Amino acid sequence: MEAHKGVWVFLEARNGALRDVSVQLIGEARRIADKRGTDLTGILPGWKVEPLARHAIECGCDRVILVEDARLEFYTSRPYTKVLATLRWRHNPEVILFGASKNGRDLGGRLHAAIDTGLAADCVRFDVTEEGFLDMIRPAFGGKSLAHIHCEKHRPQMASARWNVFPMPRRDPARSGEVVRETVPLEDADFDTKIVDFKPTESRETRKIDDARVLVSGGFGLGDPKNFVLLDELATLLGGAVSSSRKPVDLGWVPKALQVGQTGKTVRPDLYIAVGISGAVQHLAGMQESAKIVAVNSDPKAAIFEIADYGIVGDLFQVLPEMIRQLKAFRAQAQAAPPPEAAPPGRRDGA
Amino acid sequence: MTAPGEKRGPRIAVCIKQVPKAQELQVDPVTKTLKRVGVPSEINPPDQNALETALALREKHGGEIVVLSMGPTSFDESLERAIAMGADRAYLISDRNLGGSDTVPTALTLTRAVEKVGDVDLVLCGEETTDASTGHVGPGIAGHMGIPQITYCSAVSLVDGRVRGVRMIEDGAETWEAPMPCVVTVDFGCNKPRQPTLTGKIRVKRGGLVTHWSAADLGLEPSQIGLKGSPTIVAKVDTVQLPSRQGKIFEEEPTIAVSLLLDALRKDKVIP
Ligand SMILES: Cc1cc2nc3c(=O)[nH]c(=O)nc-3n(C[C@H](O)[C@H](O)[C@H](O)COP(=O)(O)OP(=O)(O)OC[C@H]3O[C@@H](n4cnc5c(N)ncnc54)[C@H](O)[C@@H]3O)c2cc1C
Ligand SMILES: Nc1ncnc2c1ncn2[C@@H]1O[C@H](COP(=O)(O)O)[C@@H](O)[C@H]1O
């Protein structure tokens, strides 16, 4: 076990950029590598991805191993697993971390069986134990508790990390690191799985949900994709963004990237307004750490009320337009009447 | 595997797990483990979608559906339900030595079961379970078997002897195509699982369709399974301290309720 050294993070390239979840993970992996007194290596398979290696170094990697092959341009399971497995046997890392994107989970799940080691899914925190093991901390039982997973006898210790739980590391253009090109023997037989079609989700602004301070989130209660305009309007008034529970995503009403929850994103805005969302445990798993939670639901028994700071029991088609109306009215009033500070001195009380 | 030109349809293995109903999940305040006793269970919801996918494929292409599960004998209830829904037969791998298995031995055990069933063209799993929620077992089976995998599918079809799956990923829908045998994991909510039928229930009553296998039946050594065969351990479990909430519910008519809500939010300084 002594021979196993170094922390690795799998760098997922998509559309000429590193996935946010990979970048977020670099920051956390850096912290773990420092705690272990070892270095941090990014593993970057792909095609024409060298500029991304630089990005990873500026965010905290000491080294990036680049495996370039035109056939690796798009992620498929078998060749990517082969790349990671080959590098694992070549270099004996002690830790490999993955972002828990769909592809990251697909890869980790296949790899851990292929190289016979443990894999903790969807971690939200990492630490190093006194014995030097990686403490992999993940929500369990619908987020009601946190389990500490250890992998003592197998190497590498592997885990995936949830999207949006680690902050984006600051990019430091002065940081230096090395880019190492390596080859992995890939055969045509490794590419037996083909991507025959890709339909990007429509162009709704999806990235905003990651850092919005206010989220207006819609559920099945919206009844129709058209009704999301109500949420758009409310979100705009509050300077926030729109997100969704899973049902509208499954029904194709809104893009997957807007989904909050166990199989979607984790969000922690200052204000989360859940509209027509029942509050299933899988939904709560993604939003229960929001600073303030408001629920609008016609069913007084809906579970979402149990974790809400404020709730309105009522029909969203009455409540939302009313909220929009009152917010606009308040704003119009605030603009018409000059704020007290602006009033000329000596005339405060109309004197 | 089906040889080209051969007439029989695909043999599909569906891996299902019995889980406590999600709404009923309660953590025992003393032991900090999941309360399982007395909690109603169900087939893991995405596995129901996987089974429905298999049933639809059989309607179209013929073939056979074999259901596999690893767990205690109480799981028979779910296997019987799967047969009542239309599966042809089911196997439960049940063994005290399997207790405490993480995803590595679970995937290994299911792999051995798939191999023992023999000639399986397609292995269907759910995207993840509601109790462990790793999503690693399906890719783990593919990894152990060295066969292709298509995960997070919202639609699965067979085209010219290849599997086609539409994967719902963060930025869109990718269609993957792979040769068989292949592992496919199916998204929760992508179809409407059918109800058990009367004829299905009668087939269950007649018996003989659920077979139990031990670990030894699959050629598994005790060192490969259970706690011993699991690379990971749960070192400890903390209860989550969620922020305490005011829980103020306004039941007034909308104009008043909204105005009370907005006042409260302004007072809390979360809206201007
Ligand atoms: C493995 C797995 C993973 C999952 N992952 C996620 C996840 O990541 N995120 C997620 O959100 N879910 C997830 N789910 C699904 C989850 O279990 C629920 O099915 C889902 O969250 C329900 O969505 P909803 O609340 O929008 O719909 P519903 O449960 O149907 O609730 C709709 C709500 O709208 C209310 N309503 C209806 N009409 C009105 C009206 N006119 N005015 C006001 N209120 C109204 C109803 O009272 C109801 O409470 C997952 C499930 C599984 C099995
Ligand atoms: N004990 C089990 N028996 C049968 N299938 C299982 C078992 N555990 C997991 N699976 C399958 O693997 C999928 C993913 O499970 P998990 O990795 O636990 O999230 C499930 O949806 C099932 O299809």
**Domains (range + CATH), chain A:** 7-186 (3.40.50.620), 204-336 (3.40.50.1220)
In this predicted structure, the answer to whether residue A345 has a pLDDT above a threshold of 60 is no
Euclidean distance between the first and the last CA atom of chain A, given in angstroms as a whole number: 83
pLDDT in tens, chain B (272 residues): 445 545 589 999 999 999 998 766 666 656 556 666 678 999 999 999 999 999 999 999 999 999 999 999 999 999 999 999 999 999 999 999 999 999 999 999 999 999 999 999 999 999 999 999 999 999 999 999 999 999 999 999 999 999 999 999 988 899 999 999 999 999 999 999 999 999 999 999 999 999 999 999 999 999 999 999 999 999 999 988 777 888 999 999 999 999 999 999 999 999 98
Report the C-alpha gap between A217 and A267 in whole angstroms: 11
Give the pLDDT confidence score for residue B204 in this predicted structure: 98
Q: Is residue A250 within 6 Å of ligand 1 at its C-beta?
A: no
Identify whether B205 is part of a domain.
yes
Q: Is residue B107 a contact partner of residue B134, using CB atoms and an 8 Å limit? A: no
Mean pLDDT over each residue of chain A, to the nearest integer: 93
Identify whether B194 is part of a domain.
yes
User: A201 vs A205, which has greater pLDDT?
Assistant: A201
* A247/B contact by beta carbon, under 8 A: yes
Identify whether B148 is part of a domain.
yes
Q: How many CB pairs under 8 A join A and B?
A: 275
Q: Which of residues 90-119 of A touch B (CB under 8 A)?
A: 101-103, 105-114, 116-119
Number of structural domains in chain B: 1
Q: Whose CA is nearest to atom 26 of ligand 1?
A: A219
Identify whether B127 is part of a domain.
yes
Q: Is residue A311 within 6 Å of ligand 1 at its C-beta?
A: no
Identify the burial level of A152 via C-beta atoms within 10 angstroms of its C-beta, where 0-12 means exposed, 13-18 middle and 19 or more buried.
middle
Identify whether B108 is part of a domain.
yes
Least Cα distance to A9 among A101, A146, A140, A147 occurs for A101
pLDDT digits (tens, 9 = 90+) for A58-100: 999 999 999 999 999 999 999 999 999 999 999 999 999 999 9
Query: Domain range holding B205?
Result: 11-224
What is the A220 CA–ligand 1 centroid distance (Å)? 6
Identify whether B249 is part of a domain.
no
In this predicted structure, the answer to whether residue A346 has a pLDDT above a threshold of 50 is no
Residues of B in contact with A194 (CB under 8 A): 176-178
Ligand 2 closest atom vs CA B46:
21
pTM tops 0.95: no
Q: Is residue A243 within 6 Å of ligand 1 at its C-beta?
A: no
Q: Identity (one letter) of the amino acid at B37?
A: V
Read off the CATH number of the domain in which B182 is found: 3.40.50.620
Identify whether B242 is part of a domain.
no
Report the C-alpha gap between B87 and B110 in whole angstroms: 17
Identify whether B251 is part of a domain.
no
Reported as a pLDDT band with limits 50, 70 and 90, residue A243 is very high
